[in-house]
Structure 1
Amino acid sequence: MNLKRIFGAILTLLGISGLIYTAVVFSATSGSERDIKSLIIFGILGVVFFISGISLVKTTKDEA
Structure 2
Amino acid sequence: MNLKRTFGAVLTVLGIVGLIYTGVQIIQHTGAPTTLIVVGLISVIFFFTGISLVRNTKDEA
TM-score normalised to structure 1 length: 0.89
**Residue of 37, 56, 59 corresponding to 2:34:** 37
Residue 28 of structure 1 deviates from its aligned partner by: 1.3
- Fraction of identical pairs, as percent: 57
2:45 — aligned with what? 48
Cα distance between partner residues in 1 of 2:20 and 2:42: 12
TM-score (norm 2): 0.93
Larger radius of gyration: 1
Q: How many residues align?
A: 61
| Alignment gaps of 5+ in structure 2 | none
2:11 maps to 1:11: yes
Alignment gaps of 5+ in structure 1 = none
Match of 2:20 in 1: 20
1:2 and 2:8 are equivalent in the alignment:
no
- Which consecutive aligned stretches of 4+ in structure 1 deviate over 3 angstroms post-superposition? none
